[in-house]
Amino acid sequence: MLISKVLLKLRQWLTSRHFSWYGLYINAKQLHEGSPHGLFDDGYYHLLTETQKKAARECPRLNQAIEIYKKCIEIETMAGRIFNVGITHHQLGLLYHRQGRIEEACEEYNKAINLIKDLPNANALPALSTCHFRLGEIAMSKGDKGTARRHLEKSREIDLSLNYKAGAKMSETLLYDLRS
């Protein structure tokens, strides 16, 4: 386990030395994931309280990560690297969502989906699934059952194709809740 973490860090460092964008992206991701307000243990963002969202909005680490992600999108758009742009929109959507900035999160998730949905890159699938899941969760919280069902079923389908049972289970749980 320790060896794999060290190898991952080494690979990230080497990649960031060759691609300046990647160094920025990793920096933003570390700020995001390292913040006490960056990840939510339960996994369901619709369960976040207003206090938790406010703390995330006020977190300097998350706000710095947002600015870095925006810079990454700018750099990668100019370079024409669509996959990287899509993945970064996905990350930005997660941050906005975590902060309770729902309209901005939806916009970022949709941008990510539109950019990566047809790419022949297996690494796009987990991000695509997450975008659909989060859009389903948002639609569900707004009472839009049809849109929620469509996104959650798509997320579940992708997760099952990846054999990601935990992700599929999260979608199934919300789909069950929609039927209730």
Contact 119, 82 (CB under 8 A): yes
Q: Which CATH architecture has domain 21-119?
A: Alpha Horseshoe (1.25)
> What are the pLDDT tens digits along the chain (180 aa)?
566 655 555 555 545 444 566 888 899 999 999 998 887 777 889 899 999 999 999 999 999 999 999 999 999 999 999 999 999 999 999 999 999 999 999 999 999 999 999 887 778 899 999 999 999 999 999 999 999 999 999 999 999 999 999 999 999 999 999 998
**Long-range CB contact pairs, 29-34, < 8 A, 24+:** 29/65, 29/91, 31/61, 31/62, 31/64, 31/65, 31/68, 32/61, 32/62, 32/65, 32/91, 32/94, 32/95, 34/61
- Angle value at C-alpha 36, between 101 and 88, nearest 5 degrees: 50
Please state, in angstroms and rounded to a whole number, the distance separating the CA atoms of residues 93 and 130. 10
Give the pLDDT score at 61: 96
Domain boundaries, the chain: 21-119, 122-180
Give the pLDDT score at 38: 82
Give the pLDDT score at 140: 96
Q: What is the pTM of this model?
A: 0.87
Contact 72, 91 (CB under 8 A): no
Contact 51, 73 (CB under 8 A): no
